[in-house]
Structure 1
Amino acid sequence: MIFLRVMKTMKMKNWIATVCFGVLSSQSAFACTPPLMESAYFGSTEMMSEELTARIREDVRKNHYTVIEYRVGSSYFPLVKKGDTVYLNGKPLAKKEDSFWYLGHGFYQFNHEVFFMDEHIGAYPTDGTVIAYEEDRSATKKPDTWPANSMWCSISVHANKLEASNGLRFEKLVYDN
């Protein structure tokens, strides 16, 4: 008798768990998630907030730092020059004696090599040109083939592109939300 009650209770718990899982994984349970904006300005990754923004701006103003790049994707203040050192996401990247040029859109030249946010791309052309630019790839309109009764969330995405005269070409998709 006790065994049957335990089995009925277990079946009921499994049924409840199955129904809850079904509801949570259904299309109606999904919602557009807000972007996860973050910064590693002080060395560790923190979620962006008004308080953190105020602390960063006060630190920049007080210490006369230079913000090289304000935002790349969902990362705020990723490249900052503090004194004679350039920091990438709170970690030292280049010192005064290093060869460093910021090319824009997350691309930089460091000791004659090209990088995108700490990702090595290739050699910098010695006597050539390099162009870094951004191309919008956002999907703001719901496609005609989108299933009926399904939620649509627009995705803000762009491609950061680099083209060099030595044939080097690189494209990185950057999600803004």
Structure 2
Amino acid sequence: MLPPFSFSPVMTLAGMALGLALVGLSPLSGAAEMPAEPVKSSLQENPAAYKDVSLKDLVAKSRTDIPGQRIIFAPSPIKFQATLSAMPAPQKADYLMTALSMMKVSNPPKVSQRIGLDFGGDKALAAYIDDSIAARLASSAKIGQTLTFYAFHIYNNNRGPALLITSFGN
């Protein structure tokens, strides 16, 4: 199941370009000029838009140098395999919602939880998760299970990428 939200075409293309360039990621810092009004354009019909990435490599390349620094850019669709290390738990998502708003995301998902993902790094990565997907995950997955996750890479910080999980599969 793919996400029920959409992006402006300019931001979608920018996100896809950034997703294709994860190896040489050079995101915009702070807010960039955005279109005045979001135009509905959905990735729902294009699952091929989710670029396969190594979460371990993405985390290493996405960490910022300065604690507290966040680098926001157009959301890029990615998919990766990781082991579930923590079930959904409450998480404030104010900053995530601000970032999505800055990027002109129309119909953003409801997000109030996070999960833990073991990717073979020094410690698990916390990732935001769509509330409806969190409910499905809680009822059908187990800690220690390796799954394929579909997500949007929203911003970077000193802990790595801020990811919004929008779906998962075996």
TM range (shorter): under 0.3
Tell which has more relative contact order, 1 or 2 (C-alpha 8 A, sep 6+): 2
TM-score (norm 1): 0.23
